[in-house]
Amino acid sequence: MYRGFMKHEQSDCHLESVQRLNLDKLNKDIGIVIKEQVSDLRGKTRSFLLTIISNLKFRGRQCLPLRGRADDSDSNVNQLNVMRCEDNPNFKEWLLRKSEKYTSPEIQNELLKIMSQILVGDETTDVSNREQLVACIRWIDEQLEVHEDFTGLYQIDDTCAKTISDSIQDTYDGASAMSGPKSGVQKRIKDEQPKALYNHCHGHRLNLACSDSIKRVKIMCDALDKTQEITKLVKKSLQRDTQLEKIRRAALLESEDDYMYAGIRVLCPTRWTVKADVMIAIINKYESLKKLWEWSLEKLKDTDMRARVRGVGAHMQRFDFFFGLSLGKCLLRNADNLNASLQTKDLSAAEGNVMALKTVKAISLMRTDETYRLFRQKVTNFAELKGVAEPCLHR
């Protein structure tokens, strides 16, 4: 029987049957094979297109020309594509194709036009305590002129991610409702439109950086808290605001300095990059404010309000408050200028980056022993002119 099996195993019919069985296992349905090939080709095409788009985006953000002055093969964008082949060898095969490789000037211009349109959205509370969604369209025309068109204010019931994402359908601020990676507005919109890119507002990021830095310095935190209290006492009372104006006009008759015209505004608790002007106004009106507190104590009868006025008056006599006020003015003035520049509608990303680096460099140059010595001496002399007490160590 064993010999019979061995003889059958070597027979032509058995060998042919085994060969057919193995071929059936290797072969796939023709529909499945075509589908896999198309899916693989689509994935590669998408990857190569994203590489080309990233090259265009880089040159567009840096305001660099695409074509250059040489022939098409030596143009800037084509040379950048060739350099990217070092990272992805398969990309070289794509560029060697004769057609349908998305590198023609017409397609590049179309891609740049698509990338030039941005939806800007943010939410805020109005004076009637209603949540309002602000929407703007930022776009670039054929002459590379930047336009920002306000589309409207839309009342929303709440500030949860679903409500906001239902109201707008790609610049958001960095709040968790906007930037949340799992259920934030940017995630919900990207689920519906994968091409929508999330970009955290640079002005808001600068504001957060100032906030985190200042909160670590106690003398500046205390100075800003009292600055906020001073602005409230002045601007929340018509009588005190009017009396300060009278004191200012009387002082103006004795001085011709233009800065005497600077006004005091209430500080926004969430905006850190707009506080330098208020701090400068308080320093310039130091004597006028102290006269205002004296006048207020004579007129006020409310115990709590008198205590608040006495509190700010006592703090304005202390050197540490005046020093924190002067330090905040010096630092936040640089941040204010950068914040205003970043909001310029025709500012390019490269120019914004240069301004940010210059601001960081300017502040870094202040961090030397000699600069601090000169700054402290200047503040001490100025405080003496303002009638502020001499610096002393705390117990």
239-251 tens-digit pLDDT = 888 888 888 888 7
- pTM higher than the cut 0.85: no
Tokens found for residue 388: 């502020």
pLDDT at 164: 62
pLDDT at 243: 86
Q: DSSP letter at 266?
A: P
Q: Which residues of the chain have pLDDT under 70?
A: 1-5, 7, 20-31, 33, 61, 66-73, 113-121, 123-124, 126-129, 140-144, 157-190, 192-200, 253-263, 268-274, 345, 349, 393-395
pLDDT at 259: 45
Half-sphere exposure of 300 (CA within 13 A, CB side): 19
Asked whether the CA dihedral 135, 140, 146, 147 is positive or negative, the reply is negative
pLDDT at 246: 85
Angle 123-125-129 from CA coordinates, rounded to 5°:
150
What gap in Å lies between CA 287 and CA 386, rounded to an integer? 7
pLDDT at 171: 45
What gap in Å lies between CA 216 and CA 229, rounded to an integer? 20
Residues with Cβ within 8 Å of residue 57, at least 6 apart in sequence: 115
Per-residue pLDDT reduced to its tens digit, 11-25: 777 777 777 666 555
Radius of gyration of the chain (CA): 34
What gap in Å lies between CA 282 and CA 166, rounded to an integer? 44
pLDDT at 1: 60
pLDDT at 77: 74
pLDDT at 277: 82
pLDDT at 26: 54
* Longest Cα–Cα distance in the chain: 129
Would you kindly state where each structural domain of the chain is located, as residue ranges? Answer: 10-113, 117-200, 205-386
Amino acid occupying residue 146: V
